[in-house]
Chains A and B, each alone.
Chain A
Amino acid sequence: MNRSTLDLWVGIFVTIGVAAILFLSLKVGNLLTVSNDQGYRLEAEFDNIGGLKLRAPVKAAGVVVGRVEGIKLDPKTYEAVVTLKIDRGYEFSKDTIASILTSGLLGEVYIGLDSGGDTKMLADGDRITKTQSAIVLEKLIGQFLFDKAAGGGDAPAASGGAAPAAAATGGTR
């Protein structure tokens, strides 16, 4: 094997190998958007975030406008504080409602933003005041069974209907 041909092949091999690692890191692992510091941050408090994870998408009208950047528990209020990173170019009104939603029955958990009618816009570091927590299936079922037991079967239809409604609206502030 000629020395320079060997060098060339090893060069090609290492180059495409490193390119593959870069491809996996940037295109598949999406490393680029992590280091991409453009955009601004918003905070939102939730009673319960359910299965929300870091780097979950933030969507407005189904369009991804940002990512979940941080999740922590407020030690005083025992509420989850979620930091959202919104891409530059998207603005939302002060009365925007943030809700934790699930795409499909088993799909990924994401945060949906519904903009309101306020003319003032949220700026970097602002807190979204209107939030809707995740619907936790176990709690829902638990409450349903509890209500049913407490009601002694008088009005199963009424209490059964009320429980999910309460759970769903209870989180709205």
Chain B
Amino acid sequence: MALRRVGRATISSVERLGFAARFSLAVVVHAPAALRRLRLTLREIYFSGVLSLVIILVSGLFVGMVLALQGYDVLTRYGANESLGVLVALSLVRELGPVVAGLLFASRAGSAITAEIGLMKTTEQLSAMEMMAVDPLARVVAPRFFGGIVSMPLLAALFSTMGIFGAYLVGVRLIGIDAGSFWGNMQAAVDFRYDIVNGIIKSVVFGIAVSLIAVFEGYHARPTAEGVSTATTRTVVASSLSILALDFVLTVFMFRGLGV
């Protein structure tokens, strides 16, 4: 009985995976359509990017400030408090920026995308579009997908920047670390290719993952109020888990053998 249940769960999850793969392919196929309708994609950048600005900027600032306080506490034990800039910058640029911004993006923009598409499905707007000979994948899904991919790296960069600024406020202004050593050590330790570029690559990958999950869950939500709310929850859970898992995989490949 239990075995049968395991089997059924496996089959349905494999089925869903195949579904998702086919769906991703369809979205990518419709990419040119989304690019031709730049205005629609711009609109989606507004909804997923601009409307996430406040939460990203504020969270970034606070995460940076906390990092600076905690980091300073530990670093002073080793007499290395001038390395605060390094600690903050590396943790933000490599990990916290892309990951935390990705998690916030999933819960702010991803859930909104799922709910919106799910609601359009529930109220037959997607059906109506199909009946008007307009493909909802091209008109509704693809612009949201690409809007998310554009927004996510920018949000991650803004998060890291605000974090470093917050650390500067706490470390230099409040605690009184020398500004020169704060910036100087940071610049000496942060490498453009290994740290900044890899961080940006991570945020792009997270953007793709979250956007894809969000549009997929919305498009395949059951067309009821309950279905939409389930889909929204699934988006947040699935996006968060895939961000963390992808982060691990990417980190292994990016920073392996770097010895830092």
Q: Which residues of A contact B (CB under 8 A)?
A: 1, 6-7, 9-10, 12-14, 16-18, 20-21, 23-25, 27-31, 33-34, 55-57, 64, 104, 106-108
Contacts and interface: CB of A to CB of B under 8 A. Distances in A.
11 contacts: A10-B46, A10-B49, A13-B45, A21-B200, A23-B161, A24-B161, A25-B192, A28-B186, A29-B93, A29-B196, A64-B184
A106 B80 contact: yes
B42 A6 contact: yes
Interface in B176-196: 183-192, 195-196
B68 interface: no
B229 to A, nearest CB: 26
Contacts of B186: 28
Contacts, number: 93
A1 B154 contact: no
Which of A1, A17, A104: most chain B CB closer than 10 A?
Answer: A17
Contacts of B183: 27
Chain B interface helix/strand/loop/mixed = helix
B175 interface: no
A1 B42 CA distance: 12
Interface in B211-238: none
B157 interface: yes
A23 B154 CA distance: 12
Contact of A13 (B43, B49, B187): B49
A14 B154 contact: yes
Interface residues of B, number: 37
A64 to B, nearest CB: 7
A30 B183 CA distance: 10
B157 A17 contact: yes
B50 A10 contact: yes
Contact of A17 (B154, B187, B188, B196): B154
Contacts of A27: 183, 187
B158 A17 contact: yes
A9 B50 CA distance: 7
B160 interface: yes
B154 A34 contact: no
A104 B188 CA distance: 16
B191 A29 contact: yes
A20 B43 CA distance: 22
B164 interface: yes
A107 B161 CA distance: 25
Interface string B152-182: 0111011011001000000000000000000
B201 interface: no
Contacts of A64: 184
Contacts of A6: 42-43, 46
Given A13-B53, A25-B192, A28-B187, 11 more contacts: A1-B43, A6-B46, A13-B45, A20-B158, A20-B161, A21-B154, A24-B161, A25-B196, A56-B188, A108-B185, A108-B188
Contacts of A56: 188
